[in-house]
Structure 1
Amino acid sequence: IDLEALAGRLRAAGEVKVNPYLVRLRAGEYELNVFEHARAIVRGTDDVGLARSLYARYVGT
């Protein structure tokens, strides 16, 4: 994943921080940490289905 391009797309969705290793999005009560190999850590929910939905919405499939 091109982290800079992803960060640019996500800026409209919430607070975004980017570094060479990951993009961090804070959108409401959720935080997504997306790594360049497309894996992510989703904070703010224990519901796997919701976490997958958030990933699909903000990152894609």
Structure 2
Amino acid sequence: PDLVTSEVADELVQLQDDLAPFDTVRALDIIKEELALAEDQHAASKLLSSLQDAEPVAAASLGQVYQ
């Protein structure tokens, strides 16, 4: 049996939509805010540096993927 009703499943399907990417500067700001909470700040800084030239390759309601 399904874990959710068909009505809930229909709503969740909308979260899988292929959307246009949102602003990369805004995305990096969000990532920077989250990384500020990381225990390993050296690794967080290295990760943020690696994302500076990243381009979005996919976007959906729940997030955006960078390469």
TM-score, normalising length: structure 1: 0.33
TM-score, normalising length: structure 2: 0.30
Higher helix share: 2
Higher strand share: 1
Which has more radius of gyration?
2
- The higher relative CO (CA closer than 8 Å, separation ≥ 6) is in 2
